[in-house]
Amino acid sequence: MVVSLIQGALGNPFGNAASGPAFGLLNEVLSEYRSRDGIARPSRYEVVIGSPPRLATDNKGARNVSLKCESIVFPGRNIDTTTDTNIYGPTREIATGFSFADITATFQCGSDMSEKIFFERWQESSFNINTWAMRFYKEYVGEIRIFLLDEQNQRRYGVKLWECFPKNMAEQSLNYGTINEQLKLSVTFSYRYWTDLKTSGGVPQPLGDRIVDNLKNQAVRRLTAQTPAVTRLLGNFLR
For residue 15, the model assigns a pLDDT of: 55
CA separation for the pair 22, 111 (Å, rounded): 57
21 lies in the same domain as 75: no
216 lies in the same domain as 179: no
68 lies in the same domain as 170: yes
Helices vs strands, H then E, count in the chain: 6, 9
192 lies in the same domain as 216: no
119 lies in the same domain as 2: no
45 lies in the same domain as 24: no
109 lies in the same domain as 1: no
27 lies in the same domain as 49: no
How many structural domains does the chain have? 3
168 lies in the same domain as 113: yes
CATH code for the domain of 174: 2.30.110
For residue 3, the model assigns a pLDDT of: 43
Residue 239's domain comprises 210-239
124 lies in the same domain as 24: no
93 lies in the same domain as 175: yes
Full pLDDT tens readout for the chain, 239 residues: 444 444 444 455 555 555 556 655 666 666 666 666 678 999 999 999 998 988 877 678 899 999 999 999 999 999 999 999 888 989 999 999 999 999 999 999 999 999 999 999 999 999 999 999 999 999 999 999 999 999 889 999 999 999 999 999 999 999 999 889 999 999 999 999 999 998 765 444 444 454 445 555 555 455 555 555 544 554 554 44
